[in-house]
Structure 1
């Protein structure tokens, strides 16, 4: 076991208010496992602006804990078996973004993943919407340079962030997931570098649901449809009073 590293998630990297963005946390852990495909399980809410600890309890595993040692999030090597739905054409992804931004039904938030209120480089500004005649949520996306490292590539925490919100939106639209749902687990792999200033297609689809549990697939591809990253995620609705 290596010594734990102290860190704090910046306040702007949130999904729900004051709650650290799940995809970002997952990417941080995935980068510390050394595995090509990683499953991340969320055990407790991680608040922004609060010190937490990153550790590697055994080879290939990583965890986030509170300062009182309570387990918050854990990651381990995994396998990903879903077959991705082919990406829609770039033109459809562009039209989906235009529909999202013009829809009166889309909430204006500062969510790190899909919030239109985020400044470029302070959020992904990834705006999926339904492709007409399909059960696919899609978005055209050109990552801002402020999201990239010194080499112009998106780090794992940003790539995994891009695999988060689209799946939730697919579950909300296609399997009628209830409000307040949250990411409970993500299994993902990155197949190619993703660079700032390049054009990508994000698309997501609902796979199945059982009661409060909803499973979704999310893919990130080049504008020509070449797969760059793939995820399967479990979202869970809160218990009703």
Structure 2
């Protein structure tokens, strides 16, 4: 198990700290947001693997090792690894309208109850300063989820462009396994890759669609896409989710 950095030649690429606003579970960062921050150090499309829950308000160092892998470290502990990828093309199994996505979000099983991810920056239903991407099962599609994604000015830059880490965050919770969403168990993100095809701006009316690719034991391999009103995919992701054991409610 890789959890401490071994003796090897490394190049320091930079440092990052994740603000407490961008939490997933209460004491750690939203996995997709963290992956997006890390991916900024990779040239081109990338995949980020989380080795431990990414901490909040903690300085993380990003190193490139002599094996070509980037590792994200604090106090000798490896929190994540990242590498470049050659992405494939994903086709969403459904292209819901905004009204259909809103209806699905209203069916999100976490609405009105407290649970581990109630205050997640992305999917927390009661999170006033979050993204409100709370996916629910799409009507007529038991294994497809959907939610609106309409980024507001609090997540845009001075030109109204939504940073890539926010796009990664939206695609994270959008890819949550549909079967786990319906009946449990709670899952946490293990790996995420994202391809963004065009800039996303504040106020864009997008629909987030998620679906499952494969299941193996506690691992769920899933995909998600952000689709514009013309049905064009503007960003896509593949993810691996790990089901928690025991009671994590």
Q: CA deviation at 1:201?
A: 0.5
**Deviation sequence 1:206-237 (CA, Å, 0-9, x none):** 12101111111110111221101111100012
- Indicate the residue corresponding to 2:216 in structure 1: 210
Change (3 A) 1:31 1:75: same
- The counterpart of 1:150, out of the listed 137, 158, 164, is 158
How many pairs are equivalent?
235
2:140 is aligned with 1:140: no
Alignment of structure 1 residues 223-234 onto 2, 5 Å: 223-234=229-240
**Aligned-partner Cα distance in 2 for 1:173–1:161:** 17
- Indicate the residue corresponding to 1:72 in structure 2: 79
Equivalent pair of 2:110/2:125 in contact (CA under 8 Å):
no
- The counterpart of 2:122, out of the listed 84, 103, 113, is 113
Q: Once structures 1 and 2 are overlaid, which stretch shifts more, 44-53 or 131-140?
A: 44-53
**Aligned-partner Cα distance in 2 for 1:162–1:12:** 15
TM-score by length of 2: 0.84
2:22 is aligned with 1:19: no
2:232 is aligned with 1:222: no
Equivalent pair of 1:40/1:74 in contact (CA under 8 Å):
yes
Q: Secondary structure at the match of 2:105?
A: helix
- Indicate the residue corresponding to 2:241 in structure 1: 235
Alignment of structure 1 residues 1-241 onto 2, 5 Å: 2-35=11-44, 37-57=45-65, 62-66=70-74, 68-81=75-88, 83-85=90-92, 86-100=94-108, 109-120=118-129, 123-134=130-141, 135-173=143-181, 177-179=184-186, 181-239=187-245
Equivalent pair of 2:122/2:132 in contact (CA under 8 Å):
yes
List gaps (5 residues or longer) in structure 1: none
Q: Once structures 1 and 2 are overlaid, which stretch shifts more, 83-92 or 186-195?
A: 83-92
Q: CA deviation at 1:82?
A: 5.3
Q: Secondary structure at the match of 1:95?
A: helix
The alignment yields a C-alpha RMSD, in angstroms, of 2.6
Q: Secondary structure at the match of 1:153?
A: coil
**Aligned-partner Cα distance in 2 for 1:81–1:105:** 38
**Aligned-partner Cα distance in 2 for 1:144–1:57:** 38
TM-score by length of 1: 0.86
**Aligned-partner Cα distance in 2 for 1:196–1:138:** 20
**Aligned-partner Cα distance in 2 for 1:69–1:87:** 45
Q: Once structures 1 and 2 are overlaid, which stretch shifts more, 57-66 or 125-134?
A: 57-66
List gaps (5 residues or longer) in structure 2: 1-9
